[in-house]
């Protein structure tokens, strides 16, 4: 494909999205560019502070537990208080907590603050996903979620490389840089993002929609089935950073070998996410989720046959393709099943599935490797991926089609549509759409009106 065609494809991928989406995208990108703590926390505790690996694992678990606790509460806040106040509170408190973490030395204090950091940083996810669902029309949501996912991985790839250099200079500097960049994200939200929570529909008696509580979400059988399937898929994907390095280490490979293999994951996402988005954007979500689950399960399953770094890298390539397909498609499905005025709560419960997987996956991989061997872990991943694929195939057999248009939330400025709008748009009844850019100057410019994409990358 020529450079001209690639540039044209990139322009089509980013065109037609609302201005507010690009500010939200940019905020996410800057947030991930500053995500140093997650990268070097274990090294900071073991090398700089001299604590044991067991203590570092405990702190990591408490960080994850904080995310579990905040998932539901942040979803409720996003619906009750609004997306914007929830984002401001989450990002401001995260900046403060990360800064404090760089100055505490007592092991109990470090563990406690790490729990708070996990809780506050995870609290922004339901609000981000709900706001994205509010401001992006249904027809563009898979594309928007994919661009958002691309930004997360681009930011993480850059921050991971920068973290090593920063750690050599000063671990504390890393904490303060992350705190500062997170605070910049809060400033961007405050200055550039209007509240997007949908207003009560006028045709509902009394002007108020039916109340959506957590009990409502938990009684929604189809949605909870999606959450369960998401948990299974998340268990598999977590093995890329948990089971894979342990298994490679036991097989005699060095940390550098693991780094070379896992680098394929970030490189593929940064290079291929936009082309993959164009491929999957208007395809059947059921088939995409089935295929992505199988790619994930059998991608990790093939690891049992790996005996060299090259083969390990090939297995990473397989499950990374599944990851690129699954992330935007599944996020779009969650929004599709979420009532408009309950998006925050629904996103909170969905986020909970990934938080729980982050807690369970280390225990699962460690137990299976210690008692049965790594080959059993990879076989189990194949079985879990197959189970998720069967589940998606059965669940989505009778899923109703989604309207092609979306309600316009209060305060949001929709961008001109990329294609002529339908002559008789119909607002969706109970579902419309939601885990987290800037692009190059060539791709950012057509994102909407002339000023739709910011020229600088505020956080």
In whole angstroms, give the CA distance from residue 177 to residue 220. 42
**Alpha helix (H) residue ranges in 81-170:** 83-101, 107-122, 124-135, 141-169
pTM of the model: 0.68
Same domain? 38 vs 153: yes
Same domain? 157 vs 60: yes
Residue 201: the pLDDT is 54
Domain that holds residue 348: 214-396
pLDDT band at 47 (very low <50, low <70, confident <90, very high): confident
Total count of residues recorded for the chain = 459
Domain boundary among 166, 196, 226: 196
8 Å CB contact between 174 and 37: yes
Residue 38 Ramachandran class (φ > 0 left, ψ -120 to 50 alpha, else beta):
alpha
List, for residues 306-318, the tens digit of each pLDDT value: 989 999 999 999 9
Same domain? 30 vs 170: yes
In whole angstroms, give the CA distance from residue 76 to residue 91. 17
Residue 267: the pLDDT is 83
List, for residues 264-299, the tens digit of each pLDDT value: 888 888 888 878 877 887 788 889 999 999 999 999
List, for residues 166-205, the tens digit of each pLDDT value: 777 888 888 999 899 999 989 988 898 888 887 755 544 4
DSSP letter, residue 15: T
Same domain? 88 vs 122: yes
pLDDT band at 398 (very low <50, low <70, confident <90, very high): low
Q: How many domains does the chain have?
A: 2
Q: Specify the CATH number for the domain of residue 298.
A: 1.20.1250.20
Is 405 a domain residue? no
Is 106 a domain residue? yes
Same domain? 309 vs 383: yes
384: how many CB neighbours lie within 10 A of its CB?
22
Most confident of 229-238, 368-377, 410-419: 229-238
Q: CA 231, 236, 242, 247 torsion: positive or negative?
A: positive
DSSP letter, residue 204: S
Residue 192: the pLDDT is 87
Q: Tell me the DSSP string of 21-87.
A: HHHHHHHHHHHHHT--HHHHHHHIIIIIS---HHHHHHHHHHHHHHHHHHHHHHHHHHHHT-HHHHH
In whole angstroms, give the CA distance from residue 355 to residue 68. 5
Domain boundary among 344, 367, 396: 396
In whole angstroms, give the CA distance from residue 444 to residue 458. 14
Task: Read off φ and ψ for residue 457, nearest 5 degrees.
Answer: -105, 80
Same domain? 59 vs 188: yes
Same domain? 115 vs 259: no
């Amino acid at each position: 494909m020529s450079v001209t065609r690639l540039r044209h494809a990139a322009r089509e991928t980013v065109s037609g999205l609302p201005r507010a989406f690009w500010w939200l995208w940019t905020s996410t990108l800057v947030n991930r560019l500053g995500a140093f703590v997650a990268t070097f926390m274990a090294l900071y505790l073991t090398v700089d502070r001299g604590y044991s690996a067991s203590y570092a694992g405990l702190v990591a678990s408490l960080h994850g537990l904080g995310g579990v606790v905040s998932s539901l509460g942040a979803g409720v806040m996003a619906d009750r208080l609004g997306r914007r106040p929830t984002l401001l509170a989450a990002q401001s408190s995260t900046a403060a907590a990360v800064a404090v973490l760089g100055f505490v030395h007592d092991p109990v204090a470090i563990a406690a603050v790490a729990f708070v950091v996990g809780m506050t940083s995870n609290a922004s996810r339901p609000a981000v996903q709900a706001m994205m669902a509010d401001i992006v029309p249904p027809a563009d949501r898979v594309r928007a979620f994919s661009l958002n996912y691309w930004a997360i991985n681009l930011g993480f790839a850059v921050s991971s490389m920068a973290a090593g250099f920063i750690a050599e200079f000063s671990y504390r500097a890393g904490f303060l840089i992350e705190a500062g960049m997170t605070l910049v994200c809060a400033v961007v939200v405050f200055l550039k993002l209007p509240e997007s929570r949908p207003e009560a529909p006028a045709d509902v008696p009394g002007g108020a929609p039916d109340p959506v509580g957590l009990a409502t979400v938990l009684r929604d059988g189809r949605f909870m089935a999606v959450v369960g399937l998401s948990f299974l898929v998340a268990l598999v994907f977590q093995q890329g950073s948990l089971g894979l390095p342990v298994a490679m280490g036991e097989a005699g490979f060095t940390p550098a070998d693991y780094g070379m293999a896992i680098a394929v994951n970030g490189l593929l996402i940064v290079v291929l996410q936009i082309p993959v988005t164009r491929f999957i954007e208007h395809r059947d979500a059921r088939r995409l989720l089935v295929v992505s689950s199988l790619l994930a399960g059998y991608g990790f399953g093939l690891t049992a046959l790996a005996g060299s770094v090259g083969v390990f890298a090939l297995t990473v390539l397989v499950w990374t393709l599944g990851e690129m397909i699954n992330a935007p498609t599944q996020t779009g499905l969650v929004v599709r099943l979420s009532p408009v005025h309950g998006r925050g709560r629904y996103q909170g419960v969905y986020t909970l599935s990934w938080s729980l997987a982050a807690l369970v996956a280390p225990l699962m991989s460690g137990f299976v490797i210690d008692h049965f061997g790594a080959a059993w872990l990879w076989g189990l991943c194949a079985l879990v991926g197959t189970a998720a694929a069967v589940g998606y195939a059965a669940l989505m057999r009778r899923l109703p089609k989604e309207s092609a248009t979306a309600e316009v939330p209060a305060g949001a400025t929709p961008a001109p549509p990329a294609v002529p709008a339908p002559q008789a748009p119909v607002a969706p009844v109970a579902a419309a759409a939601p885990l987290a850019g800037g692009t190059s100057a060539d791709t950012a410019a057509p994102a909407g009106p002339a000023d739709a994409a910011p020229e600088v990358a505020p956080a």
